[in-house]
Structure 1
Amino acid sequence: MTTALLRHRLAIVLLAAVGILSACGGGKAGPAASRTAATMSDDQIMTLVRQYGQCMRDHGVARFRDGTLEDGRLTRAGAPDGSVTEEQMRAATEACEHISAQLPASVLAPEPPPSAAKLEQMTRFSECVRQHGLPDWPDPDSRGAFKLTDPTVVKSDKFQAAQAACKEHYDGGIKINGGSKK
């Protein structure tokens, strides 16, 4: 099984488990079953996210990343490709569902793809960045991420200068290989 396919399946297992639990309240009644992102602070959500991450690590997913909360959605959470099997992820997810059931469903919803207009702005930004000293800078993918062979380039002075010169085309967050840099 390819790494990308395994990552996709692991994400589906995690999101499906959390989505099902959120939809039915995890079999629990009371305040936890009715929580929404609007009724919970970011700190409360991140406390649950950290508890969930620790539970996943305690149940065999040693390299599970807690992730961060960006624009009301959990990003960069999960296990690195190839670090666990689908069975290990499923077992840990089931063991930790008492925590994931408390997370608002909207926090776990996938980010919608960028509009065609935004993708066009990002493509013009890419062209500009290439013209300002980074000839290998890629166009955005359909999710608005820039697939970089060396993600550290965004910390370079050369990129900072190119980004400043090209902000007229696009001045939003930069997703790199699926993650974000604001």
Structure 2
Amino acid sequence: MSKPKYVAALATVAIALAGCNGGSHPSPGPSPSAGAQEARIAWLRVSECMRANGYPDFPDPALDDRGVWTVSYPTQGSPAECDELVRQAKVNSRALSAISPSEMASLQAYAKCMRGHGIAAFPDPDEDGNFGPGVEPLQADPKFPAAFDACKALRPPQRPK
């Protein structure tokens, strides 16, 4: 993988998980939990490692509008010196984004509603709470707008990917 593509990939993963505004001052927003602070620190370590190992423009993590710590570069193919830091940052972040049983029940109720309103192929959510790319083609079905409207009260908020 070329260096620019590698850096772009690392940033994408990290942006979804990090949180500084490029300087030493934290981004404004809600008080983060202890787990969120651990995720932020883990991604800061990844950023520092990446910069020390050939990626001088690698960004600090940032808290996005959905409350997810992220970096704007991918971490796949990171330098060996950073592999363990990347792994730990991903573990910390994954723990924060785990879907609760009540969220899963809501997502399943939404899927059932969509099927009940004529979108028979509407999928159940996966273990991460995502419906997947198979939903996009279903939107072309003429019955989709009515089903979408009928199920709007059950529609869950957008989850981070």
TM-score normalized by structure 1? 0.41
More helix by share: 1
TM-score normalized by structure 2? 0.45
Identify the structure with bigger relative contact order (alpha carbons < 8 Å, sequence gap 6+): 2
